[in-house]
Structure 1
Amino acid sequence: MNLLYANDRRGQYPQSWYAATATPLERFEPLRGAQTADVCVIGGGYTGLSAALHLAQAGRKVVLLEAQRVGFGASGRNGGQLGTGQRVEQDALEKLVGQTHATQLWHMGLEAVQLVKDLIAKHDIDCHLKPGVAWTASDKSDLNNLHDYAAFLQKRYGYDQIETLDHAALQSVCPSPDYTGGILDRGAAHLHPLNFALGLAQAARDAGVVIHEGSAVHHIDQGTRVKVATDAGHVTADHVILGCNGYMGGLNRKVAARVMPINNFIVATEPLGERVKDVLPRDVAVADSRFVVNYFRLSHDGRLLFGGGESYGYKFPKDIAAKVRKPMSVIFPQLADVKVDYAWGGTLAITMRRLPYMARVAPNILSASGYSGHGVGTATHAGKLMAQALIGDGDGFDAMAAIPSQRFPGGPAMRTPLLTLAMSWYALRDRLGV
């Protein structure tokens, strides 16, 4: 199944609230004929756009190929949360890679957040950036873990941007009967993800990047000079960057063995008006501590954007709104009668360790993907790290590539059914509260 077209029409963004409110960007023409470049970037999401932008600013000739539209995939559909650190907590990272490497990864996580903020400011990207992401707990054990983690970050890393919230304090942030407390990270942020992607594309174009949409890559011939082929043309380049994430398909088997696409779903309610105070009186983003995470925030026009609901096949469900309403009704039973104006799905990618997989898959081919729901900052940063590696400063990329990776058991044929069993078990645990 080709996930580029399994759930979406060619050359069109999904019918999401993001697409409906995005700042339009003129369509880029498909690749036709032969072109040459210093670097060919495959994928027009945060990873590819950031890599292309930073390479062009360093004087490289860059051609970027996107199968659909820039920002078409997870970069234009996600929950818009810009989280600090890495996807995995720092104490777990220390056990995995040691304190020295974990400390380097922590600072790189902070750099990722600052990079996004700097790019938005430098290129005047209108994506409604706002501070604050809260993590919530539904039981005492989860709450203790969150508060302990906040204390750990303060003591070990000097991170003082987290506010601990008891039940009363959490209710002033998010008055849900399901939550017992949590933490609020003031250093994190949230934004309009598609507008951020489109802003990166415009900045890359203005820096000299040649962008081709509607140009799906079907083959890569490796060698001293790499040939990247589409149906209507090809690019010959000294280097290639793979920024395909959940849409890698069969372009590279090494990446496909370690990075797996999954689907997630979001709804946008009707504008809530005065009911906003009953949902999010403080305009911060929220994610909870369930294994199958619920995440939500307010749009700039006063809607609740709520993501949740698990699905383990690659086809989107027929009624996405009904699927997302189930977890939303648990968190906000007071919204049982609210109208859903938009409902959409998206394909992201995960790894076994929930940490990005970055690798030199050939001497002149770099890849970064598998952000596991932490991609707004991490993917943008990964693009910059790959650009720096090609320019001659590979320290950051090598630090990320040194994170131990695991292949999904069973290979491409069995990874999906095996993950389905595991995810179904954890989803059941969420529902049972164990």
Structure 2
Amino acid sequence: MNPLYRNDISGHHAPSWYAASVPPAPDRPALADTIRADVAILGAGFTGLWAALTLARRGVRVVVLDAHRVGFGASGRNGGQVHSGFNKGQDWLEARLGADAARALWALSEAAKKNLRDFCETHAPEAEYRSGIAHGAYSMAERDELAREADYMARTYGHEIHVMDRSQFAELVKSPLYRGGTLDPSGGHLHPLAYAQALARAAEAEGAVIHECSEVTEIVRGAKATLKTTKGSVIADHVIVAGNGYLPNILPQVNAAVMPINSFIAATEALPQKWQEVLSQDIAVADSKFVVNYYRFSTDRRFLFGGRESYSIGFPDDISTALVARMHRLFPQLEGVKIDYVWGGALGITPTRLPMVKRIAPNIIAAGGFSGQGVALSGMAGRAMAEAILGDGRGLETVATLPTPRFPGGSALRAPILALAMTWFALRDRLGI
């Protein structure tokens, strides 16, 4: 079934706290004709919007098509966490790609965070960017591995991450389950839907055109590529495909390497008097479970707690019970707190949990599979693709070195095979092995 409609109402945002907490954005008209553009972009999330903004600032005629709304997908409903680097450590990347390639990738990821922070400061104060992201470890072995990575990053890259023992981390993150952890001051968190909407406004101010409720049903290749929708088409010199976990099966090379999985978030009632019983600082936190827990507080002090992945296209009938149980296991002090919002959404993952950014045809570039770290890295990908179209392919060449093989069995068998593997890892989480 088409992932664009399995769990959502056409043209409407997920019933999240994010959607409830921002002013409604104006509807943008659906594409209803055949038009021409220099660049056509599929997807109005972080990736597509950063590409559109980068191109429009250089005077390029850009048209963005989205099947729903700006920020409808993972960009508008994620955990809002801004991480450093990639899902694989720099030493892992060095061992496989070489020191020079790994350093170039690190430089791109650091620039991604800076560009995000700068944009929020100048164009999106309503995204409420705040600094600091912590990582919790459930065992001494995990804590020691975090400490080793932090030492390596300090010595090799000059990147400072604070390592904490059990008592120090417990003062920061007040759960009885962690055995220590780290704090990265250069990471952070924000309101993702407000950020996406600000990116769209900035791109439009530079001349980009965005059509909502305009699902791309076919990509026709040629010297000039065509994006077809049910009511119109865009004929363009170049195409950027940024559908990620919501991309229908219209580009097999992408669908074989990027798989959608579902993740879920709960938002409590506002806790202005109680929030520091959970976190002593206004930071984001993720932990070392393979089925990761991730959480933070909103500016009105709602606890936003995410986790509980699902590998079927459809959401479970009951999202809340298992998700809230995970939250209570970590933070017993939150039992009895009212849950005001629960929502889910799809993100794209790759077999290596590294972003896939590659050229599909001479004039078609695609990106996806940010695997839970897309708040910053999606912007990196969008800019790299746009810059390649503008004539500077260095960023695209660098990020394309990330290993992102096809899933076993391609798009046909990726879901059942991955579901079996993820069931095993989830069992390991529960058993603590």
TM-score by length of 1: 0.98
After alignment, is 85-94 or 183-192 more displaced?
A: 85-94
CA distances 1:96-147 after superposition (whole Å, capped 9, x unpaired) = 2111111111111101100111221232441010000000101111110111
Cα distance in structure 1, aligned partners of 2:53 and 2:352: 29
Q: How does 1:14-413 map to 2 (within 5 A)?
A: 14-160=14-160, 162-413=161-412
Displacement of 1:31 in angstroms is: 0.3
Cα distance in structure 2, aligned partners of 1:131 and 1:99: 29
User: Residue 71 of structure 2: SS of its match in structure 1?
Assistant: coil
For the 8 Å contact 1:216–1:230, the answer to whether it is kept is: yes
Displacement of 1:63 in angstroms is: 0.5
Unaligned runs of 5+ residues in structure 1 are: none
Unaligned runs of 5+ residues in structure 2 are: none
Cα distance in structure 2, aligned partners of 1:317 and 1:124: 34
1:414 equivalent in structure 2: 413
Counterpart code for 2:5: Y
Number of aligned residue pairs: 433
After alignment, is 416-425 or 88-97 more displaced?
A: 88-97
Cα distance in structure 1, aligned partners of 2:57 and 2:322: 44
Counterpart code for 2:113: V
Dislocated runs of 4+, deviation >4 Å: none
For the 8 Å contact 2:124–2:194, the answer to whether it is kept is: no
User: Residue 75 of structure 2: SS of its match in structure 1?
Assistant: helix
After alignment, is 247-256 or 40-49 more displaced?
A: 247-256
Displacement of 1:25 in angstroms is: 1.8
Displacement of 1:21 in angstroms is: 0.5
Displacement of 1:429 in angstroms is: 0.5
For the 8 Å contact 2:124–2:195, the answer to whether it is kept is: no
After alignment, is 109-118 or 84-93 more displaced?
A: 84-93
For the 8 Å contact 1:309–1:326, the answer to whether it is kept is: no
Displacement of 1:148 in angstroms is: 1.0
Counterpart code for 1:252: L
Counterpart code for 1:151: D
Cα distance in structure 1, aligned partners of 2:12 and 2:76: 12
CA distances 1:57-112 after superposition (whole Å, capped 9, x unpaired) = 01100000010000000000110001111221111111221111111111111011
User: Residue 308 of structure 1: SS of its match in structure 2?
Assistant: strand
Cα distance in structure 1, aligned partners of 2:172 and 2:22: 28
For the 8 Å contact 2:27–2:212, the answer to whether it is kept is: yes
User: Residue 376 of structure 2: SS of its match in structure 1?
Assistant: helix
For the 8 Å contact 1:219–1:230, the answer to whether it is kept is: yes
Identity of aligned residues (%): 47
User: Residue 273 of structure 2: SS of its match in structure 1?
Assistant: helix
Displacement of 1:327 in angstroms is: 1.4
User: Residue 310 of structure 1: SS of its match in structure 2?
Assistant: strand
Counterpart code for 2:94: E
CA distances 1:270-312 after superposition (whole Å, capped 9, x unpaired) = 1123221211121100000111110000011111100011222
Counterpart code for 1:142: E
User: Residue 274 of structure 1: SS of its match in structure 2?
Assistant: coil
RMSD, aligned CA: 0.9
Counterpart code for 2:114: Q
Cα distance in structure 1, aligned partners of 2:412 and 2:116: 36
Cα distance in structure 1, aligned partners of 2:47 and 2:127: 18
Counterpart code for 1:350: I
Cα distance in structure 1, aligned partners of 2:249 and 2:125: 34
For the 8 Å contact 1:37–1:61, the answer to whether it is kept is: yes
Cα distance in structure 2, aligned partners of 1:312 and 1:236: 35
For the 8 Å contact 1:125–1:195, the answer to whether it is kept is: no
User: Residue 270 of structure 2: SS of its match in structure 1?
Assistant: coil
Structure 1 residues 232 and 29: alpha-carbon distance in aligned structure 2, compared to 1, 3 A threshold: same
For the 8 Å contact 1:172–1:282, the answer to whether it is kept is: no
User: Residue 418 of structure 1: SS of its match in structure 2?
Assistant: helix
Cα distance in structure 2, aligned partners of 1:124 and 1:248: 27
User: Residue 352 of structure 1: SS of its match in structure 2?
Assistant: coil
Cα distance in structure 2, aligned partners of 1:218 and 1:99: 41
Counterpart code for 1:112: A
For the 8 Å contact 2:134–2:181, the answer to whether it is kept is: yes
Cα distance in structure 1, aligned partners of 2:329 and 2:94: 35
Cα distance in structure 1, aligned partners of 2:28 and 2:317: 31
Cα distance in structure 1, aligned partners of 2:115 and 2:273: 35
After alignment, is 412-421 or 121-130 more displaced?
A: 121-130
Counterpart code for 2:165: D
For the 8 Å contact 1:34–1:235, the answer to whether it is kept is: yes
